[in-house]
Amino acid sequence: MTAHEGSNQGQSRRQFVRRALSGGVGATLVAAAGTTGAVAQVGGPIRSFDHVAIPMRNTDAMLSFYRAVGFTVMEGANICSVHFGDNKINLHRPEFWQSGTFTLRASAAEPPCGDFCFVWDGTVDALKMMLDGAGAEVIIGPVERTGGRDGGTASGTSHYIRDPDDNLLEFIIY
């Protein structure tokens, strides 16, 4: 069998989605994206992210920055966190992730290692005003991007900035 036999090449997107969804919750979809064999799971018991975690280098600057861009910030002895909606990003303090005793982390992760996209529900002008107030420079944007909504097919307009540890932050407006 060749790489393309048994694939969904040649069908319309609607036919592909209809066929994939007919398998019910938990059906495995094979994306017809060349020969990459990309696989996506539909349904199932995984509903969403709860949190992600990254190490930070510049604690005071990071916490001040995330407060300035509108996040709720909580500070702990080893881990700080920034909250938005039902989500959070844990920020591991340098003395914690560098200690060698904290092993529940990506062993090679060092700042900057984050690349996050946040949905902005306001206007472009309100986003620019907030970013300006935080002293954040837009490095790219506005640019059209495909986001995670509608099964990864929704288009939005994104603006990219960097936080004090040089992690990449994207703000997308749908």
3-state secondary structure 94-144: HHHHCCCCCCCCCCCCCCCCCEEEEECCCCHHHHHHHHHHCCCCCCEEEEE
Average pLDDT of the chain, as a whole number: 84
pLDDT of 38 reads: 55
Beta bridge partners of 80: 91
Q: Give CA–CA dist 63/56, Å, rounded.
A: 10
Question: What percent of the chain clears pLDDT 70, i.e. is strictly above it?
Answer: 75
Q: Which CATH class is domain 51-173?
A: alpha beta
Q: How many residues does the chain have?
A: 174
When pLDDT is averaged across residues 70-81 and rounded to a whole number, the result is 97
- 121 or 44: whose pLDDT is higher? 121
User: For residue 14, is pLDDT > 90?
Assistant: no
| pLDDT for the residue numbered 42 | 62
Q: What is the structure's pLDDT at 18?
A: 53
Give 37's pLDDT tier (boundaries 50, 70, 90): low
pLDDT at residue 39 in the model: 57
Enumerate the CATH 3.10.180.10 domain ranges in the chain, comma separated.
51-173
Question: Which of 10-19, 38-47, 125-134 is predicted most confidently?
Answer: 125-134
What's the pLDDT score for residue 27? Answer: 41
25: confidence class by pLDDT, cuts 50, 70, 90: very low
CB-facing half-sphere around the CA of 73: CA atoms within 13 A: 15
Cα torsion for 35, 37, 38, 40, to the nearest 10°? 140
Element containing residue 41 per DSSP (H, E) = strand 39-41
pLDDT of residue 49: 87
Residue 85 to residues 88, 89, 170: CA-CA distances in angstroms? Answer: 8, 11, 16
Q: What is the pLDDT, as a whole number, of residue 3? A: 43
Query: What does DSSP say about strands 115-119 and 168-173: parallel, antiparallel, or unpaired?
Result: parallel
What confidence score (pLDDT) does residue 28 get?
A: 38
Select the more confidently predicted residue: 72 or 34. Answer: 72
Alpha carbon distance 168, 73 (integer Å): 19
Specify the pLDDT at position 4. Answer: 43
